[in-house]
Amino acid sequence: MNDAPAAVVHPKPASLAEIALVFLKLGTVAFGGPAAHIAMMEDEFVRRRKWLSRQEFLDRLGAANLIPGPSSTELAIHIGFNQRGWQGLVVAGCCFIVPAALLVTAIAAAYVRYGSLPRVEHILYAVKPVVIAVVAQAFWNLGRSAVKSAWLAAIGLCAVVAYASHVHELVLLAAAGIAATGPLLIRFRTRAAMFLFPSLAAFAVKPAVTPFGLTRLFLTFLKISSVLFGSGYVLLAFLRSDFVDRLHWLTEKQLLDAVAVGQVTPGPVFTTATFIGYVVGSSQGAAVRGAVVATVAVFLPAFILVAASGPLLPRIRRSALAGAFLDGVIIGSLALMGVVAWQLGRAAIVDAITLAIALASAILLFGFRVNSAWLVIGAALVGWAL
């Protein structure tokens, strides 16, 4: 039995310069989505630099998964906070986000200027089926962990039906969380949570065109990031609901293009917001401002929540009722993700070529665990050849 304490592995905290350099590096080379980011951080900070013990790393990963927002970015913020407090929190988070945000902004500028050229169209035509396969893989992997009981599976199916019926996603997530507490509430002789989903049709949202504004853009992304549980890929459901269905600022094609850019670039998947902010702002002469506003709004809650919730999260998870509610919210998030993947898949897989690309990508992802960034690059080359 090893009685050595695991609390302190790196006795001298890293300097701010060291934190900045390592997270700039990760933000520049971390392709492959949240799972790949987490694996790279474990290798960097547990095995190589020994800033954290493996248990400390897992504790912070669990804390990041229990709050809304981008889990890999929140993990980076946790590690910075662990090393240098508030200063480390800001430096680690910003240095992980900024390289990807700058790259996505440059790509968005090229997209706005050249996006209608046939060769660019062909590249995106080939990349979109890969994006659908990547989302399907994430949905499958997350679902296997999230569906812990038949009751949660039933809640997920109800959430799929509710979202397909245009129920507002925030109402749906709240109802899923409450419904997940049903088995516990039954002990107190109440079955109220079991009847929430049939009544959700009253909250169906009717789309209405809304004029573009930077304040509206900021508040929309702030809301999304403040309530999004599960994965960066669940972001797709919120983006489609807000920017395609409700605000009508994006088309289905533009949303798929934004997701494709988020896949081919390193760093957080949430930099898809940077691309969207640039594209929707360009029509009003506010492209760069739109990119900055969207990026700040989508990542701001992560900094606040990590700083505020760290000491509280272990208590929340120890509470059976609060833990069940969080399980329900995650199931609801996955239901949103599944419906949107299906809807976007119908727009992306339009002929035999795109079907072949999607199937080949799924085989390589599920069977051989190929990094999604390589698949996106390969599909882009196929599109270029076409």
**Could you tell me the two tokens for 251?**
């088309």
Residue-wise pLDDT tens digits, 320-356: 888 788 788 878 878 877 887 888 788 889 999 999 9
CA distance 111 to 219: 25
Rounded to the nearest angstrom, the gap between the alpha carbon of residue 328 and the centroid of all alpha carbons in its chain is: 18
Strand residue runs (E) in the chain: none
Is the pLDDT score of 112 beyond 60? yes
Q: Locate tokens 């897989």: which residue?
A: 349
Q: Is 293 left (phi over 0), alpha (psi -120 to 50) or beta?
A: alpha
CA distance 131 to 289: 27
Q: What does DSSP assign to residue 68? A: S
Rounded to the nearest angstrom, the gap between the alpha carbon of residue 163 and the centroid of all alpha carbons in its chain is: 18
pLDDT (average), residues 199-223: 73
CA distance 204 to 162: 9
Instruction: Mark 189-206 as b/e (b = at least 16 C-beta within 10 Å).
Output: eeeebbebbeebeeeeee
To the question of pTM greater than 0.95 for the whole model, the response is no
Cβ proximity of 169 and 241 under 8 Å: yes
CA distance 286 to 248: 17
φ/ψ of 383, rounded to 5, equals -60, -40
pLDDT of residue 61: 78
Cβ proximity of 272 and 235 under 8 Å: yes
Q: Which residue has the higher pLDDT, 313 or 144?
A: 144
Q: Cβ-count burial of 320 within 10 angstroms (0-12 exposed, 13-18 middle, 19+ buried)?
A: exposed
Q: Which residue has the higher pLDDT, 182 or 9?
A: 182
CA distance 37 to 281: 29
Residue-wise pLDDT tens digits, 232-278: 667 888 899 999 999 999 998 899 888 888 877 888 889 999 999 99
Helix/strand number for the chain, H first, E second: 17, 0
pLDDT interval class at 216 (50, 70, 90): very high
In sequence order, the 6+-apart residues with CB closer than 8 A to the CB of 196 are 175, 178, 179
Cβ proximity of 72 and 65 under 8 Å: no
- Local structure of 204: helix, strand or coil: strand
pLDDT (average), residues 98-126: 85
**Could you tell me the two tokens for 123?**
């590249």
- Per residue, the 3-state secondary structure of 148-179, as one string, reads CCHHHHHHHHHHHHHHHCCECHHHHHHHHHHH
CA distance 259 to 261: 5
Amino acid at 181: T
Cβ proximity of 137 and 369 under 8 Å: no
Q: What distances in angstroms separate CA 382 from CA 74, 120, 262, 343, 386, one per listed residue?
A: 35, 12, 19, 24, 6
Is the pLDDT score of 1 beyond 70? no
Which has the closest alpha carbon to 23: 372, 308, 268?
A: 268
pLDDT of residue 248: 92
Residue 105 has a CB neighbour count (10 Å cut-off) of 21
pLDDT of residue 184: 77
In sequence order, the 6+-apart residues with CB closer than 8 A to the CB of 213 are none
Cβ proximity of 330 and 153 under 8 Å: no
